[in-house]
Amino acid sequence: MDIRLLILGVCLAIKCVGFSQNSERPNILIFFTDDQGYADVGVYGAEGFETPHLDDLASEGLKFTNFYVPANVCTPSRAALLTGKYPIKVGLHSGVVSPYSTHGLEPEEITLAEVLKEGGYATSIIGKWHLGHEERYMPYNQGFDEFYGVPYSNDMDSYYYKHNDFQSPPLPFYRNEKIIGEGVDQRYLTKMYTEEAVKQIEERNTEKSFFMYVAHNMPHEPLYVSEKFEGKSDLGLYGDVIMELDWSMGQIVKALKEEGIYENTIIIFTSDNGPRIGSAKPLRGMKAETWEGGHRVPGIISWPNNIPKNEVINAVVSTLDLFPTLLDIAGIREMPNLDGRNIKKFLSNPSKLELQDEPIFFYGRNGEMEAVRYGKWKLHIAKARGWNKKKDGSFPVSLYDLDIDISESTDVSKQHSEIVEKLKKLIKEFENSLKY
């Protein structure tokens, strides 16, 4: 018997409560965009375009100002979201999976979809997977009942990799295990994903709660937008793309309301990492960097009648916290060896409850440890990207007080040497705990 399934079955048998297959447990919808920056949403200070539906979602729930992903590029960020573990623990912490790659998220890793499926949820992924495109790594072998989308990034469509003389094929488009198209017209990706999400919501068996993971390709380059949104914003194509993504959220919320299940659906909106061409103001850095702009992203959670409306949350939270939290919400009290925290109680009463500080570790695109945040302090020990070595010399160990210096502009390591040593110790302890 597959040891992974045995462990999962024992865990569910011991830890689960209320596992009748009915609609009392909330539906779970994760809306995950690609390379959308911290300031690329209206309520986060967007300029040149509007996002009324995302803004409405924030007014209906919680807007997080310190929401993080534990990686600054696609593959490791998605691995963390679906496993609840730092990417280094699942072997996907360095770079991204490419069309020529032969690795991916190993089948023995337990995903959020697998646990929810075993618990009676219908599970689906719509959009970008990017955790391995060989058969054993694909979504339908990782806990998802349905897959509608592409196996990796849209820029890998028919791309020639000069360094290893590899010509990638036209971007394959899947429905479950079958390729139903190749080199699809990317102008319609956002529209296609949205229509599929709405269709699945309308066709869901109301006797069974669902987990839907909507992983949009946009606004990852190359940018594409349908005719309806072309020229819609004052910012140009990038703004148009974000406005179509906002429309997508609006259509999904509308469908949930029309089916009478909006009140019983927890919606989570965030991005996989910081922007490549968008805005992370007032943060420093961008995608592929361990400055705040690479890891701190917009984060909104809505769950009518269960969490407060229109509150701004300054507590530090990450996508690692989603796995254990959603399991509790779904009736599964805990899973072993997860890196995040169960913040269900905090979400219900954030004005009165306080989250205990936990370190967040930042790995560079090269897979090397570069920084840690603990409380208000962030220590940088190395910098593979986002630092001009020729111009500025070797990167110096640097400490920032993010409470008063959100832009990481003033190094205070000399004034707080004891904090530097404390954070260095946290890094050392974490790395020593890893089993390679």
Q: What angle do CA 272, 259, 117 make, to 5 degrees?
A: 50
**Range list of β-strands (E), 169-271:** 172-175, 178-182, 210-215, 265-271
Q: What is the 3-state secondary structure (H, E, C) of 254-298?
A: HHHHHCCCHHHEEEEEEECCCCCCCCCCCCCCCCCCCCHHHHECC
Residue closest to 241 by CA, chosen among 268, 262, 281, 271: 271
From the CB of residue 412, how many other CB atoms can be counted at a distance below 10 Å? 15
Q: What separation in angstroms does the CA of 43 have from each of 50, 62, 135, 271, 383?
A: 9, 11, 41, 15, 31
11 is annotated as an active-site residue: no
Distance CA 83, CA 382 (A): 27
Q: What separation in angstroms does the CA of 219 have from each of 27, 138, 274, 341?
A: 26, 23, 11, 29
16 is annotated as an active-site residue: no
Instruction: Pick the catalytic residue from 11, 53, 93, 130.
Output: 130
Residue closest to 380 by CA, chosen among 366, 360, 355, 356: 360
The secondary element (H helix, E strand) that includes residue 90 is: none
In the chain, the amino acid numbered 92 is L
Instruction: Pick the catalytic residue from 74, 93, 220, 380.
Output: 74
From the CB of residue 392, how many other CB atoms can be counted at a distance below 10 Å? 10
* Beta carbons of 285 and 273 less than 8 angstroms apart: no
* Beta carbons of 293 and 282 less than 8 angstroms apart: no
Q: What's the distance, CA 322 to chain centroid?
A: 10
Distance CA 58, CA 313 (A): 11
Structure tokens, 374: 């603990």
Question: Among all residues, which ones are annotated catalytic?
Answer: 74, 130
